[in-house]
Structure 1
């Protein structure tokens, strides 16, 4: 298995639960993170070695090392004791090429998470067809799309929809974080990668400083990847956020989303988590200008945030790149906070739509994914 980044580690950990239920003695190895290691995964390299931020300077700097890891992994998988199946978990830029080479050499390949060809980079479909014996899809419309191109696929639901309760306990989350039931709480999630924090945290925190001036009693929670916690805390102080109002947490993103009234959040899997917690949100994103120009040319839909893509409308605001100024971000967040008092019907309508989405995505993902792999292997 190869899983990149925090979200891939989470997905792969849940998949390993399903595989172990089917095959209790299953041996798993490759590239992974701590959740996979908890399930007995043998990580030859840690998943953060693959984490980069778009078409960035960071990618150029790290590309040689990433390609070297892929060559070494390919040689190891094709030598001696070959695996019964290779499972690439997300990370399509790394995994699809590797999967194509392994498949050509006779190893069965599965890709877990259909690349978002329905949103951007539609040209990837040919690469997916060459690389994958089967695709495990998180969203219900994806298998039919892949089938039209001759690619086998199964809808297994989104595992986060089972991890996150249908009715999050806001009061319990607040007690756990030392907050009062009556507090007004904003969660800020500026991304989980180093380059994301560099580009996204400053405007997010400057927006938060503006919001705090308008609402001095506001409490701000900032869940941060533990390795980046100090850097995130420094960025918050540099933007003028005082420690009395702002708490930078080591992880605990789910606790922060459960506790908050609204979240200012970087585009990515975390936006789906916020939707499953039924929280109003403002989606923002920034990256290197060159990366942004490349990605915009490949975009197929008007939405970038997963909640908006799945709802088929701008259910929540998206303020991306140059549009994501501190002023605009602050105004959008204040719009949601004001709605809690002045327009509760707006909040209720959003929560109802996100509840529908939660039910649509809630499946026994570990079992369904393992069943699909068993069928592929004829085991």
Structure 2
């Protein structure tokens, strides 16, 4: 991408100006919730950087779309490395040319921590929203966080004491999704919105939001759906895809052959989770969303072989999925890499449909988890920012 003009409009006198980077669909959602809170405290606040449609709808000036950073896996990152580094350098220069009052990195730690270190060294206060999972992967990041971040906003309660041991200021703000997802989702209403039969079981297929994820997982998920349909013909399937990848997802679905009753949705992941009886889902933030919707799930994940060999050596816990990590138990199945076969995905998903007692017990665990994570995130985050800014 060509260099952009380094000049940016300054915020009105007395208004908060903030830089922000959110690197994918889940980051756009989290950032949008945070921006809404900032506007309550600073009505004329102006943000600029990298973001998605939710942020743009709140007046955020996105110099690059968040999809440019939505890459997962070591090999996949290497393929896009030069382009991502070029974006980061251009963004850094633009922020240094017209410094914001604060920079807030939303997730995307591989991109944001290096950027935050440069901005912090230049005297710009830095805040990071969503602690990198040093408790699950890559504990060496803790020193990098210390160098890069003035304050960490944590979405899980066990993170703040861990960071405190490393001398990093942090505030537990709860998980924003816990306040936006109803404690008791309305399944019937969601099915009506999506045009689904109220009386037939619904399976939601969520193969991720990154192109690399959907290329690995859509074929497996669709083949699993075909197996399930053979065994239980009355099933309905919904597959929400982020708007920018709907065409790519539909092409991958079509390449696998027909699945009767399958709907590829333009977005609408939350209605899909509210409507479903069970979900087959990629490891990531979406698994926590599924837990907050109290839906049983089967977590599947597959990536480039080299990326997997590197990642599995950095794994610190026996779990990959957030619901299992937070519950410290295998409350839902995880089928990762070689175990992520269509047959195994189908069998594990159908097992939930035939064991309602297991579903009931899981929903109780997920309700307790929901209550733990439910806080006034925007207000708590704003109070933390006030301390950082001395406002």
Common fold: TM-score over 0.5: yes
Distance in 1, matches of 2:382 and 2:65, equals: 24
The reply on whether 1:169 has 2:182 as its aligned counterpart is no
Q: Separation in 1 of the partners of 2:105 and 2:196?
A: 40
Partner Cα separation in structure 1 for residue 288 and residue 146 of structure 2: 27
Matching of residue 359 in structure 1 with residue 371 in structure 2: yes
User: C-alpha separation between the residues in 1 aligned to 2:22 and 2:271?
Assistant: 24
Asked if 1:78 corresponds to 2:96, the answer is yes
Corresponding position of 1:316: 332
Task: Give the deviation of 1:272 after TM superposition.
Answer: 0.4
Partner of 1:45: 64
1:109 and 1:226 map into 2 onto residues whose CA distance is 31
Name 2:114's counterpart in structure 1: 97
2:280 corresponds to 1:287 = no
Q: Could you give the per-residue CA deviations for residues 217-276 of structure 1, whole angstroms, max 9, x where no partner exists?
A: 10001101122222222322332333x411111010000100000000000000000000
Give CA deviations for 1:86-113 in whole Å, capped at 9, x if unaligned. 1000000000011111111111000000
- When the two structures are aligned, how many residues end up with a matched partner? 372
Q: Which residue of 2 aligns with 1:348?
A: 360
CA separation in 1, counterparts of 2:238 and 2:151? 40
Which deviates further from its counterpart, 313-322 or 323-332? 323-332
Contact 1:209–1:239 (Cα < 8 Å) also in 2: no
Which residue does 2:134 correspond to in 1?
Answer: 117
Aligned-pair CA distance for 1:44: 1.1
**Is the partner of 1:83 in helix, strand or coil?**
coil
Q: How does the TM-score come out when normalised to structure 1? A: 0.97
Question: Are 2:287 and 1:271 aligned?
Answer: yes
Q: Partners in 2 of 1:236 and 1:33 — Cα distance?
A: 25
> How many angstroms apart in 2 are the aligned matches of 1:178 and 1:323?
33
The equivalent residue for 1:193 is 210
1:126 and 2:143 aligned: yes
What is the alpha-carbon distance in structure 2 between the residues aligned to residue 229 and residue 124 of structure 1? 34
1:241-280 to structure 2, matched below 5 A, reads: 241-242=258-259, 244-280=260-296
Give the TM-score normalised by the residue count of structure 2. Answer: 0.94
Equivalent position to 1:237, from 233, 241, 254: 254
| Aligned equivalents of 2:290, 2:38: Cα separation in 1 | 28
Q: Is the 8 A contact 1:32 1:43 kept in 2?
A: yes
Q: CA RMSD in A?
A: 0.9
Tell me, what secondary structure is at the counterpart of 2:46? coil
- 1:65 aligned to 51, 72, 83, which one? 83
2:240 to 219, 223, 229: 223
Deviation at 1:327, TM superposition (A): 1.0
Distance 2:72 2:135 in 1: 21
Q: Check whether the contact 1:5–1:47 (CA below 8 A) recurs between aligned residues.
A: yes
Tell me the alpha carbon deviations over residues 7-66 of structure 1, each in whole angstroms, 9 at most, x when there is no partner.
Answer: 11111111111111111111111111111111110111111111112112x322211111
SS at match of 1:301: coil
Q: Which blocks of at least 5 consecutive residues in structure 2 are unaligned?
A: 1-19
Answering whether residue 35 of structure 2 is matched by residue 16 of structure 1, we say: yes
| Alignment equivalent of 1:338, drawn from 344, 354, 358 | 354
Equivalent-residue separation in structure 2 for 1:17 and 1:230 (angstroms): 31
